[in-house]
A and B are shown apart, each in its own frame.
Chain A
């Protein structure tokens, strides 16, 4: 089965190299065409001065109403610190089986945790987060296989412990199972 095409929208600055890699990796994972475009939003409308963070619920709604359509899965890429009222921070979020999601690079930098800056690690974490949220948008829930990208992770070291790919079970659930014994 062919999945819906995916559109990634970058809000803010991301290295071209990284975006190219992300597109390739996402399309490989979902065997689906992936497009990347640049979006413009006045983020100050989403900033909460007391928390010094950006409201992830409002941003998700905004991306959904301004950029999404029913024919594609749309995911917004941000580089600001996201929160939702009930949680101190989020890496990203998406509508389960929905058409829209968001993810941010902000919390993935090693330098925020006092370690040496490492772009490769930071980008790897965002790639996993993007594939994870897209997984939710394609209807997947969290998975218990430790290496699967759909395993729930709530802090960065936890993301490092899982892989970039969907496990066989998750793949089958989405209907992009690599066929078993067509012989």
Chain B
């Protein structure tokens, strides 16, 4: 966020003021409080606030009267009105008088954050219109997307272009090329960035699990469902949903997905309320969807609905000029995360890396560098630290200790640093594992 958004909370109830104050402070806003409308109005004379959150029922001047005064002074102020009782009349009146939105107390944490994100987006859109600049590539927040080869620049330009639109995107590429990173980059550079990017790995779920995952379910839908559960489409409201391994979904799910994409509405499992959600869809696959359509295993209508824009990420072997930059980047990344100064790579080793064909693409290169840093001598990366081809077993890790360190690191990475699972896999107790982690100074990568 370019600048800190400022918020004024107006409520006569101290606990409400303090709770909201704390909440927004933790969210990184500048926050001030006023216990009545008169104080709020005088604060507004000397200070600017982007968002004003006001209670309706207050002694003295009420929230609606205050809203009208604020609006007559500063027309584009964003005022959100809070009411203790949901009376349709007050709500309608508030919106008529120019309130940005209204909420009924107490509110769901989720509704509150959604509301403020909506307001922040509004503020940002206004600011962007004021200062619209032309840049060659102006992507923000793109982690791990490294390279200045022609092929990579082309991909990044596509990302930049498509981020500005709401079109569906299919990202294709071999596994390990970084399809999820591209989805993240599109989302982070779109106007949806204040809302969640929700990822679903379709290939990992059975049909019925995927259904509940995507659509959620209603409380009481089956025994034990004490609370409603939001589905991924609902979570992605305002934001982006990323469906990885889209080619793996069943014919039944293909129909359901098509229906949701067409109507942007659905019902939770066990529910009958239509829920609408405003999401953008990005899919990824390493399969050839077109030929699946021809063979009849993937619906043609769904294919065309998803494939408005196609971004194809080239395999690493087709952009070897990016390898030195990538190697450099991963060395920094892992050295820093392991609390070591960045080390150089031996030129013979780098040359061999560039000649390697990387069937596992960038991910394989990343793992290779990470491993080399874990097992290496801490001064430089040597050829023998790299598992290039068959000769790796006999010369890379010789000492038992290095082997233990490497093995523990690999198991931890495999189980996402879940200590109990890793300990189980290693057949040691957790305390032993913690001691080993300390001893070898192992840390998860960021």
Question: Contact between B420 and A155 (Cβ–Cβ < 8 Å)?
Answer: no
Q: How far is the CB of B156 from chain A (nearest CB, A)?
A: 20
Residues of chain B with a CB closer than 8 A to A44's CB: none
Within B245-298, the residues touching A (CB, 8 Å) are none
Q: How far is the CB of A111 from chain B (nearest CB, A)?
A: 5
Given contacts A84-B19, A141-B25, contact A114 B221 (CB under 8 A): yes
Given contacts A96-B26, A152-B113, contact A157 B230 (CB under 8 A): yes
Given contacts A96-B25, A155-B230, A161-B198, contact A88 B338 (CB under 8 A): no
The closest CB in chain A to the CB of B429 belongs to A20
Residues of chain A with a CB closer than 8 A to B341's CB: 180-183
Q: Is A118 an interface residue (CB 8 A)?
A: no
Within B205-235, the residues touching A (CB, 8 Å) are 212, 217, 219, 221-230, 232, 235
The closest CB in chain B to the CB of A57 belongs to B15
Question: Contact between A24 and B434 (Cβ–Cβ < 8 Å)?
Answer: yes
CA distance A28 to B438 in the complex (A): 8
Q: Is B339 an interface residue (CB 8 A)?
A: yes
Question: Contact between B107 and A88 (Cβ–Cβ < 8 Å)?
Answer: yes
Question: Contact between B226 and A112 (Cβ–Cβ < 8 Å)?
Answer: yes
The closest CB in chain B to the CB of A98 belongs to B22
Within B389-446, the residues touching A (CB, 8 Å) are 416-421, 430-431, 434, 437-438, 443-444, 446
Within A78-137, the residues touching B (CB, 8 Å) are 83-90, 93, 95-96, 107, 111-115, 120, 124, 136
CA distance A120 to B418 in the complex (A): 10
Question: Contact between B109 and A89 (Cβ–Cβ < 8 Å)?
Answer: yes
Question: Contact between B337 and A168 (Cβ–Cβ < 8 Å)?
Answer: yes
Question: Contact between A179 and B339 (Cβ–Cβ < 8 Å)?
Answer: yes
**B1-23 interface bits toward A, Cβ cutoff 8 Å, 1 = contact, 0 = none:** 00000000000010110111010
| Contact of B110 (CB < 8 Å), options: A115, A154, A164 | A154
Question: Contact between B106 and A85 (Cβ–Cβ < 8 Å)?
Answer: yes
CA distance A129 to B104 in the complex (A): 27
Question: Contact between B230 and A136 (Cβ–Cβ < 8 Å)?
Answer: no
CA distance A161 to B198 in the complex (A): 8
Question: Contact between B431 and A152 (Cβ–Cβ < 8 Å)?
Answer: no
CA distance A11 to B232 in the complex (A): 34
Question: Contact between B109 and A90 (Cβ–Cβ < 8 Å)?
Answer: yes
Residues of chain B with a CB closer than 8 A to A146's CB: 184, 197
| Contact of B196 (CB < 8 Å), options: A85, A107, A114, A158 | A158
Residues of chain B with a CB closer than 8 A to A40's CB: none
Q: Is A178 an interface residue (CB 8 A)?
A: yes
Given contacts A113-B228, A115-B224, 6 further A-B contacts (CB under 8 A): A20-B430, A84-B106, A86-B105, A87-B106, A124-B418, A142-B26
Residues in A lying within 8 Å of B, measured CB to CB: 20-21, 24-25, 28, 57, 83-90, 93, 95-96, 107, 111-115, 120, 124, 136, 141-142, 144-147, 152, 154-155, 157-158, 161, 163-165, 167-168, 178-183
